[in-house]
């Protein structure tokens, strides 16, 4: 069985929307975790903060699993996901994404 991995990494602003970087990172992680069991096509979600803090590092990474591309696109358009995505756009300075299939 193939699983679509959706990987996103962000660099957070030091301060935005009335919160510190750490507060925004915690808030965003909590909101994203709340989508597990709510977003019907989301199979699994893992999120973590960077430990190395090198110049090349991003502050936070997200890995989501989907059965197929259609499921990931449905998640992208799921209203609660769109809401947290819009907020993340306001509190981050950079974002990179990769989507790929792996054998499960």
Tens of pLDDT along the chain (104 residues) come to: 999 999 999 999 999 999 999 999 999 999 999 999 999 999 999 999 999 999 999 999 999 999 999 999 999 999 999 999 999 999 999 999 999 999 98
Q: Is 49 exposed, middle or buried (0-12, 13-18, 19+ CB in 10 A)?
A: middle
Residue 41 lies in a domain: yes
Identify the H or E element spanning 16.
strand 15-16
CB 60 within 8 A of CB 12: yes
Q: Residue 75 has which token pair?
A: 């998640």
Residue 104 lies in a domain: no
Nearest alpha-carbon partner for 45 in 59, 31, 32: 32
Integer Cα distance of 91 and 70 in angstroms: 28
Integer Cα distance of 72 and 42 in angstroms: 7
- Structure confidence at residue 104 (pLDDT): 85
CATH number for the domain harbouring residue 81:
3.30.70.100
Give the chain's domain count: 1
Domain that holds residue 43: 2-99
């Amino acid at each position: 069985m193939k699983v679509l991995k959706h990987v996103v990494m962000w660099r957070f602003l030091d301060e935005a929307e009335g919160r510190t970087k750490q507060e925004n990172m915690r808030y965003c992680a909590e909101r994203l975790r709340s989508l597990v069991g709510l977003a019907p096509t989301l199979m699994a979600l893992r999120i973590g903060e960077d430990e190395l803090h090198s110049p090349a590092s991003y502050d936070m990474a997200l890995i989501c699993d989907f059965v197929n591309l259609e499921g990931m696109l449905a998640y992208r358009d799921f209203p609660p996901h769109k809401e947290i995505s819009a907020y993340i756009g306001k509190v981050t300075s950079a974002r990179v994404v990769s989507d790929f299939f792996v054998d499960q």
